[in-house]
Structures are given as C-alpha cells and as structure tokens.
A and B are shown apart, each in its own frame.
Chain A
C-alpha cells in the first residue's frame, strides 16, 4: 500500500512490550501468559473470539489495568509498576483510546469532547478549540462540532472518538473494536480515517477486533486464544511469514 510506512517487517524499534501477562477477573482467567510487542508507527491487530482476552490485553498495554503477573514496558518505563497517577498521565498525554462506544461524554458537545484532553493538559481554551476543530476537520466531522454525541450517527461518533484520541498527538492509540457497532460501510470510513491518521502522525495503533476484514487494515496480526497468543505476530507484508506457525 503506497500510503503505508514500509516497516512491518520489524525495522522499527519496540515501543510497548508485554511478556507473560496474566490477569484474573473473579473466577475467569482473562489472560494466561500473553506476550506481545507494539512497534513504533505500526498498526497491530489483535484478533480472537469473544472472551479470548483481547480487551484485557489492550487494557494492560495501555496502562488501564495492571496485570496480575508479567511485565509491560513502555520505553524504559515499567507500566505494571508505575503509580496510578503516572499511568493516568501517560494515558492522557502519550496514549489515546477509542472504545466501541461510550468514550464521549454525552452532555458535552462534540467540540468540547475533543477539547477535553487538551484542557486537561493545560492548553488554553482558544488554542484548544482551534486544535479540536482542526482534528474534527481531518476526520470529516467538523460540521458536527456543535452537536451532542447522541445526535451523531455511529460512524460519526467513532470518528469524533478518533479525533479525541489523536488531538493530543499520542505516540500510541489503543482501539478496542472501534467499528464493532457499525455497518460495514461506516466501519470502512472509520478504518480508513484511522489508518490515515496513524500514517500521518506516526502513532502506533493497537487494534482489537474479531473481524478479519478490519484486521486486514493492520500491518501485523496477533491471534489470541484462551488468554494467550495462539499465533504469533504475523506480518501481512511478508509472504513467508504467512506459513509461520504459532
């Protein structure tokens, strides 16, 4: 693909690395020894059936939850040991998150929602507003800036969520089934917007999906089964790797 960085074969350095992650919720074991690396600037798809631990893996890598065992490192930092405040700060500044739904505050306008991370970072209101509008424009939802999230279509809502994730210039964006609630055409628009934003900004993307058509947008794929990596990172661009067994 001409717009993509040709880095999926492993030239870029690891940005977030996780090894031997386990996580238990009550009686259910969400992760059992999962290891994965997210490299700078790549789009990595994590696929698997529902209940395979995909979301929990994303939560661990994004510093949203702490694994019971295992290590998560971001550069030289150990996320599994970082303080709650530091994790919160990282999620605010270095990371962006997009969920299937629910990440926009329903009472705020689209513009206010996108401005929020900037205001949290101490940007003044006028500058924040300009930046928010700029990102809304890039994702094609500038015209909806004054609406509330409830007044948007599903695809528009997700593009606003992408704008909110990208507005702070993150190094990594974590997207958990960003098209899960959309029809295929809206899903395609959201994914196209996501890929373009990732390429332009150079941010790495961890993309959780159960849908092969969505995973095909990524550079590499990791396949989870029963909380562990079943088929190790398959780079799509290298033909031999297609026959690699996990």
Chain B
C-alpha cells in the first residue's frame, strides 16, 4: 500500500499542467457537492416551527424548509455533470499511464489502488474545504446543528472521496482488462456511456427530491408535482437525446453539402461523435427546462398575489424571497452547467492540440478553427434548446391552467432559452484564447 501511495504521488508530481487543472477542478466540484449536501442536511435537521432570521423567515416552516432541501439536492445534478466533465480531462493520457503500469507488471488490484489514491485526495480536499465553508457559515449565523447532523456531515465528507475513488476504479475497467488495447488508444471515450452513468446518478437524487416534496400529502396532491417532475425529466432527457440525434443528422447533412470550411469541420466532428454535444450539454438542457418552467410559474404566482390583494411589503416579500431564492438556485445550477460546458470545450481542444497545430501550419486561419469550435456547440444545441423550451412551456401552461385558469400565459419564459443559448455560446467562446495557444505551431514539436 505504501509503495502504491508513493507511485500515485510520483505520478501526480510528474504530471503536466493539465492534470493539475483536472485535480483543481475536481476539488472544486467536490467542494460544491459537499456544500450543497451539508446545507441540505443542516436545513433538514431543523425540527418543527422555529424562528430563523434568514430569508424573510423562509426556514421557519417545515414545508418551506423541505422545499429548500429539494432545491439543494437538485443542485447536486449539475455538480455531477461538472464532475463528469472534469473526469474527462486528460482521460486518454491517464488510462494509458495506468495501462503502462499494468504492462510493467502491476497487478489489477494495484492499478486500482493507485488510481483510487490519485483521485481520492482531490475529492477529500474539496469535501474538507466544503465542510470548512459550511462550518464558517454556521458559526457566522450562530446556528449549531444537532449531533445527528454532524454524523451525517462526516459521512458526506468521507463519502465524497470514497465515491470519487470508486468512480475512478470503475473507469479503469477496460484498462485492467486489456491494457495493451488502452496503450494504443489515441482518442477519448465516445458515445453515450457517460450520459448513462450521469442519469443513473441523477435519478435517485430526483426520486429523493420528489419523495420529499410529496411527503405527507395525499395521492391527489402528489400528482401535480409528479406531473411537473415527470415533464421536466422527460423533456430534459428528450432534449439531451435531441442534441445527440440531431448532431448526427446535422453532421451528416452538412458534411455532405458544406460550402464553408468551418461548417465542414464542425459537421465532420458532429457526425463522428454525435453524443459529444449531448454529454457537455446534458445538465444545461435540464436546467433550461427547469428555468423556463420556473419563470412561467413565477409569473403566475406573482400575478396571483397581486390578484389576491396582498399588498403589505412583508407579505409580498415572504413569497418573493422564496421565489427569488429558487431563482438563485437555478442560476447557480445554470452557472455550474455553463462552467461544465466551458471545461468540456477546453478539454476537447486540448485533446486535439497537435492536429489543430498541424491545421494552422497548413494555413487554416485561426478564425476558421474558432468558428468551427463555436458551431460545434451552436448547431446541436439549437434543436435541443427548442425541445427544452417546449417542455418548459408545457409545465408553465399546465401550471397556469391549474393555478390560474382563464388567464393568459406569460411569454416572459421564452426569453430564457434565448439567454441560455447566448450564454452557452459565450461559455464555449471562453475557450477560444486556449485555441490560439493550442493551435500554435510550437505544438508541432511535441508528437
């Protein structure tokens, strides 16, 4: 075990900058996951009706508190997406390294241990940092959670690195089984496997959140949240699927007819790995559905409040604080998803650095490569966002019909997909300075 730890340490120490980026980003993801989980535990550990001076008394009632817990739990989904993107950074290189160790005589168990030891510390650093942040926040608020909550804290803080280690061991399956094949592999993983893993991880969170929402309510009352959850998830999944299948379709069609070099390059890449877009956009699309639905529901609720004649500032503030906090949670989820998108785009450029440098050397202008990179995000995202819009608007219309029958639905939610689309392109554009570095002919010196 000590020898394994030393090997893991030596590997990390000798790693390039990219590996350190992965470690740092993984730690950030682990930190976010820990913070959301611990916050959810803290809120959930509060019993009965209390008076907490936070968010206009939002946390006073058990009902509202469970809403906050649900929101915090759902935030874990984009974090998972981000962690999935981080795991892809330098994955080919890492797999090769482990395959090399296998070929050099390391046993399967040894390789698994080394790999676990490589990823666990980053996760532990993140989760410990998360615990620290939550502890500081609690101290500032002067709130001491009960002992059971602390036990749960420890479980989460230790569980995050364990989960990280398990995931990295699972990812090594093929390396352990056929190391020679992995040494030869030059391209990163393709297809929809990561998506499956992501949905398998996201589903229990969603089910848990749903269970919390409908806890103690009658079957009839539980049906509407069921409808909303169902619609959101179906649309989200549909949008992700659309991103993948439309990428394949658009890629095929455009590759055969493209007149512009940038479109041809982008189309070729879409055709080659249609699920790449779906992988990077999955949580973003989910957040889009939620975002559209939220803006719609918010419009109805605010109109309803005005209609009911609640005019006292405190009365309005109680409702709007809840709504605003939900909006803030969605914005946080959106930000995390965009971050994941930026990481994914940067990773895709870094993997292709030598090929990009060769294109530049052959005189392919930087602008063409940059346009191709943006098109790769823009093309499959358009139909997916359209489907997400339809889903989100369906939730909005359903809610309007139930909560305020006869009123005209708002068109404000339609601004959300436009904003999402623009923000996604901006996020992808953040990797363009990296493209300039990656596509530099100096990269040709490194095979």
Contact = CB atoms under 8 A, between A and B. Distances in A.
**Contact flag (A, B; Cβ within 8 A):** yes
Contact of A93 (B272, B363, B364, B368): B363
Contacts of A90: 363
Q: How large is the interface on A (under 10, 10 to 19, 20 to 34, 35 or more residues)?
A: 35 or more
B261 A119 contact: yes
A65 B355 CA distance: 16
Contacts of A15: none
B264 A99 contact: no
A124 interface: yes
Report whether over half of chain B's contact residues are helix, strand or loop; otherwise say mixed: helix
Contact of B264 (A116, A124, A148, A164): A116
Contacts of A108: 255, 264-265, 268
Given A105-B265, A119-B264, A91 B363 contact: yes
A115 B364 CA distance: 12
Contact of B258 (A99, A105, A125, A164): A125
Given A55-B444, A106-B355, A62 B268 contact: no
Given A25-B445, A112-B268, A105 B355 contact: yes
Interface string A88-111: 111111011101101101111100
B279 interface: no
A125 B361 CA distance: 23
A93 B187 CA distance: 31
A59 interface: yes
Interface string A117-142: 10110001100000000000000000
Contacts of B257: 125
B17 interface: no
Q: Tell which of A55, A64, A106 has the most Cβ of chain B within 10 Å.
A: A64
A109 B365 CA distance: 20
B102 interface: no
B351 to A, nearest CB: 11
Contacts of B354: 102
A65 B361 CA distance: 9
B379 to A, nearest CB: 14
A88 B363 contact: yes
Interface in B265-279: 265, 268-269, 271-273
A139 to B, nearest CB: 17
Contacts of A95: 363
Contact of B261 (A25, A65, A120, A148): A120
Interface string B94-131: 00000000000000000000000000000000000000
B250 interface: no
Given A65-B441, A93-B363, A119 B260 contact: yes
B365 A64 contact: no
B275 to A, nearest CB: 14
A103 B273 CA distance: 20
B444 A99 contact: yes
A16 to B, nearest CB: 16
B358 A102 contact: yes
Nearest to B263: A119
Given A64-B441, A90-B363, A120 B265 contact: no
B364 A120 contact: yes
Contacts of B255: 108-109, 112
A92 B264 contact: no
B265 A62 contact: no
Nearest to B355: A102
Contacts of A62: 361
A55 B359 CA distance: 16
A112 B262 CA distance: 12
B308 interface: no
Given A106-B272, A125-B257, A120 B365 contact: yes
Contact of B362 (A115, A117, A119, A125): A117
Q: Tell which of A90, A95, A120 has the most Cβ of chain B within 10 Å.
A: A120
Q: Tell which of B187, B255, B364 has the most Cβ of chain A within 10 Å.
A: B364
Nearest to A170: B363
A46 to B, nearest CB: 16
Q: Tell which of A119, A125, A165 has the most Cβ of chain B within 10 Å.
A: A119
A64 B358 CA distance: 10
A168 to B, nearest CB: 9
Nearest to B271: A107
Contacts of B13: none
Contact of A92 (B259, B268, B362): B362
Contacts of A102: 354-355, 358, 447
A148 B251 CA distance: 15
Interface string B295-325: 0000000000000000000000000000000
A145 B165 CA distance: 45
A92 B441 contact: no
Interface string B354-389: 110011111111101000000000000000000000
Contacts of B261: 116, 119-120
Nearest to A118: B261
Contacts of A148: 272
Contact of B361 (A85, A97, A109): A97
Contacts of B259: 119, 124-125
A91 B364 CA distance: 8
Given A88-B363, A112-B255, A59 B265 contact: no
B331 interface: no
Contacts of A109: 255, 268
25 contacts: A25-B445, A64-B361, A64-B444, A65-B442, A88-B360, A91-B361, A92-B362, A96-B362, A102-B447, A103-B358, A103-B362, A105-B355, A106-B187, A106-B272, A106-B355, A107-B268, A107-B269, A107-B271, A108-B268, A112-B264, A112-B268, A116-B261, A120-B363, A125-B259, A164-B362
Can you list the 7 inter-chain pairs with the closest CB atoms, starting with the nearest?
Answer: A92-B363, A91-B363, A107-B272, A107-B268, A108-B268, A64-B441, A103-B358
